[in-house]
Structure 1
Amino acid sequence: MPKIIGGSLHEHREQTRRRLFAALSALMTDRGFDVITLADVAAAAGIGRTAVYNHFPDKESLLVGLITDETERYVETLERSLADVEDPTEQLSAYVRAQARLKRVYHLAPGPDLRALLSPATQQRVRAHVVLVERVLRRILTEGIASGAFPEQDVDTTVPLVNACLSSRRVPDGGPARDAAVEATVTFVLRAVGARVPVGV
């Protein structure tokens, strides 16, 4: 009988999943997803290899679980940060800052691009979670256009263009150079959507 982590079976399952997510995330900072095995993840998490299959049937399912978990947590944090911001330009600026500061960009992990490694079905599952983030941007733009803060434009075209800009570049890891790069990105996106850029920016 495996040892139960936490005070209940539910808590045990949650803590085990967290350990697996943390292990996969750490491994992906050093290696490509293509060379990581479930045995590697189990060893890094301190969990029996066969126990992993009680939670995820394969490596792709584990990756989707990790991305789902991180995306949902990120969107919750992003929504809380926007809750008290009424001005659409300030909302868009906050969205861009949050996206630009993200450390984890899965297709930039070491090794081959993840999109070339995942099955079409898994790519579709990952894409569903990208939509959660896009939904926030879509709402900001739609409300900004309605209020006159942004000029009329095709939101279906603008959303992927903005996110492509944010996901295709990396900012420095820290210090003044990082802050400057983030703020330059904010200014670029505001100008791209036709927002009024604050004086001095």
Structure 2
Amino acid sequence: MAAGLEKLLTKSPYEAITLADIAAEAGIARNTVYNYAKDKPALVAALTAAQAQILYDEVVAICGTSENPGPQLARALHAIVTWFGNAEHRHLILCALFGPALKSATLTASAPLLRISSAVEAVILRGIETGHFRPIRDVRLTVDMMGKAAEAAAFHVVKNPETLETTSSELRAFILHALGYRGAA
């Protein structure tokens, strides 16, 4: 079903897509969709959470290593931007996370991405403790601001896939500079 919805989102805005459209694209009966979710926002949230879990697993694996926090954070940021640039369901995830029609489903849809913030925050705290990053008064705020920068980069890459490497490089440089990292990433 996720592939069908993704295909529909590349052609039509979220608001124009019906559960009947999703079912038809997936090759199932419309009533079968209700076995997965009660309505379109709930379906999008469930499908998005499943897809975002893939990104979460990748970023947590990177953040779980004991390497220098600068290169470690750079690899995590690159993985995030690359995933949005290459992910099969990137339109679905962007729609669910940032689409105004899905506010009630956003928390469910974004749960794996919220957990990514915790993994990134742990790397930053370790970087501060080891002297790789400058002292930061409000790490949670810093991670939130980094998330907005990563969101902007993700949107840019989805709209302009050919800019993936440049956008990823600029995001990493921007964030590492903001953290006061002086080493090579």
With normalisation by structure 2, the TM-score equals 0.83
Determine if contact 2:24/2:30 at 8 Å carries over to the other structure: yes
Residue 65 of structure 1 and its aligned partner are, at CA, apart by 0.7
Aligned-residue Cα RMSD (Å) equals 2.1
Determine if contact 1:60/1:122 at 8 Å carries over to the other structure: yes
Instruction: Tell me the equivalent position of 2:150.
Output: 166
Equivalent of 1:41 in 14, 18, 22: 22
Based on CA coordinates, which of the two structures has the bigger radius of gyration? 1
Question: Which residue identity lines up with residue 23 of structure 1 in the other structure?
Answer: G
Determine if contact 1:21/1:62 at 8 Å carries over to the other structure: no
Q: How many Å separate the matches in 2 of 1:71 and 1:166? A: 15
2:163 is aligned with 1:180: no
Change (3 A) 1:136 1:106: farther
Determine if contact 1:88/1:140 at 8 Å carries over to the other structure: yes
Work out which structure has the larger RCO, using CA pairs closer than 8 Å and 6 or more positions apart in sequence: 2
1:113-137 deviation line (CA, Å, top 9, x unaligned)? 61x2124x32333343431221121
Change (3 A) 1:73 1:127: closer
Q: How many Å separate the matches in 2 of 1:106 and 1:71? A: 10
Residue 185 of structure 1 and its aligned partner are, at CA, apart by 1.8
Q: How many Å separate the matches in 1 of 2:3 and 2:91? A: 15
Instruction: Tell me the equivalent position of 2:52.
Output: 71
Q: How many Å separate the matches in 1 of 2:164 and 2:75? A: 16
Structure 1 unaligned spans of 5+? 1-19
Q: How many Å separate the matches in 2 of 1:180 and 1:122? A: 32
Residue 99 of structure 1 and its aligned partner are, at CA, apart by 2.0
Determine if contact 1:88/1:141 at 8 Å carries over to the other structure: yes
The alignment-based identity, stated in percent, is 26
Equivalent of 2:43 in 56, 62, 77: 62
**Greater helix proportion:** 2
Of stretches 61-70 and 162-171 in structure 1, the one that deviates more from structure 2 is 162-171
2:120 is aligned with 1:132: no
Of stretches 156-165 and 131-140 in structure 1, the one that deviates more from structure 2 is 131-140
2:144 is aligned with 1:156: no
What is the aligned residue count? 173
Change (3 A) 1:157 1:105: farther
Change (3 A) 1:70 1:57: same
With normalisation by structure 1, the TM-score equals 0.77
Of stretches 155-164 and 24-33 in structure 1, the one that deviates more from structure 2 is 24-33
Structure 2 unaligned spans of 5+? none
